[in-house]
Amino acid sequence: MRKTKVTFESDKLAYSCELMRALAHPLRLRILEFIDQNETINVNKIYNTLRIEQSITSQHLKILKLAGVVNAERDGKFMHYTINYDILYRAEKAVNNFLGK
């Protein structure tokens, strides 16, 4: 029987898990599509347009932000969100490589 040694850098593996978890939720994908259509958008516009509760919208944006998928900037009392396209492109490339596409 052949033994295979599999090693992962735990930091990279943990981040990859959080990133894929963030991107695997249908509502978070809807939020990302909406941000993409508007380039930069505040949280009020997101939840009012998509008809999602404010608290749920904020929770999903927090997950996306922690995964590095969106950037947030405060402008007075408003938070404006933009997409970190570099992270999305890298995630897409990694998934496609894994699936052999």
Per-residue pLDDT of the chain (101 residues; tens, 9 = 90+): 667 777 878 888 889 889 999 999 999 999 999 999 998 999 999 999 999 999 999 999 999 999 999 999 998 988 999 999 999 999 999 899 888 87
**10-99, which class in CATH?**
mainly alpha
Integer CA distances (angstroms), 5 to 2, 14, 49, in order: 10, 19, 50
**Can you tell me whether residue 92 is helix, strand or coil?**
helix
The contacts of residue 74 (CB under 8 Å, 6+ apart) are 80
CB atoms within 10 A of CB 26: 7
pLDDT score at 64 = 97
Q: Phi and psi (nearest 5°) for 6?
A: -115, 125
